[in-house]
Chain A
Amino acid sequence: MNIYLPIAEMSVNVFVFLGMGCAVGFLSGLFGVGAGFLLTPLLIFTGIPSAVAVGTGSMPILASSVSGAIAHYRRNSVDIKMGAVLVAGGMVGSLIGVGIVKILRQLGQFDLFVSLSYVTFLGAVGSLMLIESVGTIRRARSGQAPSARKTGQHSWVHGLPFKMRFHRSKLYISAVPPALIGAFVGFMAAVMGIGGGFVMLPAMIYLLRVPTSVVIGTSLFQIVFVMATTTILQAVQNKTVDVVLAFVLIMGSVVGAQFGVVAGARLKGEQLRFLLAAVVLMVCLRLSWDLISRPSEIYSIGPVLGGI
Chain B
Amino acid sequence: MRGARAGRAWVGIFAGVCVLAGLGSVLVQARAQGAEAKVAAKRTLPAVRMGPRRPPPVRAPAPPPKAPVEKVEADVSTRSVEVTTDFTGHEILVFGAIDNSQQPDEKSGYYDVVVVVEGTPLPIVARRKSDVAGVWINTSSVIFASVPSYYAIASTRPVEEIAGPRVLERLAIGFAHIKMTPAPGHRWNYTDYELAAFKAAIIRLKQKEGLYVVKAKDGVTFTGRSLFRATISLPANVPVGPLVARTYLFHDGELLSAHIARVTLERTGIERVLHNFAFRDPLSYGVLAVLLAVLSGLLASAFFRRQAR
Contact = CB atoms under 8 A, between A and B. Distances in A.
A238 B279 CA distance: 10
A298 interface: yes
Interface string B272-303: 00110011001101111110111011101100
B136 A246 contact: no
A262 B301 CA distance: 13
Q: Secondary structure of the A side of the interface?
A: helix
B2 A250 contact: no
A67 B301 contact: yes
Given A232-B286, A306-B6, A301 B240 contact: no
Contact of A304 (B2, B13, B271): B13
B300 A255 contact: yes
Contact of A300 (B85, B126, B293): B126
B134 interface: yes
Contacts of B49: none
Interface residues of B, number: 72
B198 interface: yes
Contact of B278 (A2, A6, A231, A292): A6
B88 interface: yes
Given A50-B1, A236-B286, A300 B297 contact: no
A67 to B, nearest CB: 4
Contacts of A251: 296
Given A50-B4, A299-B126, A300-B138, A70 B298 contact: yes
Given A240-B5, A295-B129, A304-B123, A235 B296 contact: no
Interface of A: 2-4, 6-11, 44, 49-52, 59-60, 62-67, 70-71, 102, 105-106, 108-112, 116, 224, 227-228, 231-241, 243-244, 246-247, 250-251, 254-255, 257-258, 291-295, 297-308
Interface of B: 1-7, 9-10, 12-13, 83-89, 122-131, 134-138, 141, 143, 145, 183-184, 198, 201-202, 204-206, 236-237, 239-240, 267, 270-271, 274-275, 278-279, 282-283, 285-290, 292-294, 296-298, 300-301, 304
18 contacts: A4-B84, A4-B87, A4-B236, A66-B301, A228-B293, A234-B286, A235-B283, A243-B274, A250-B297, A254-B297, A254-B301, A258-B304, A299-B198, A299-B201, A302-B125, A303-B4, A304-B13, A304-B143
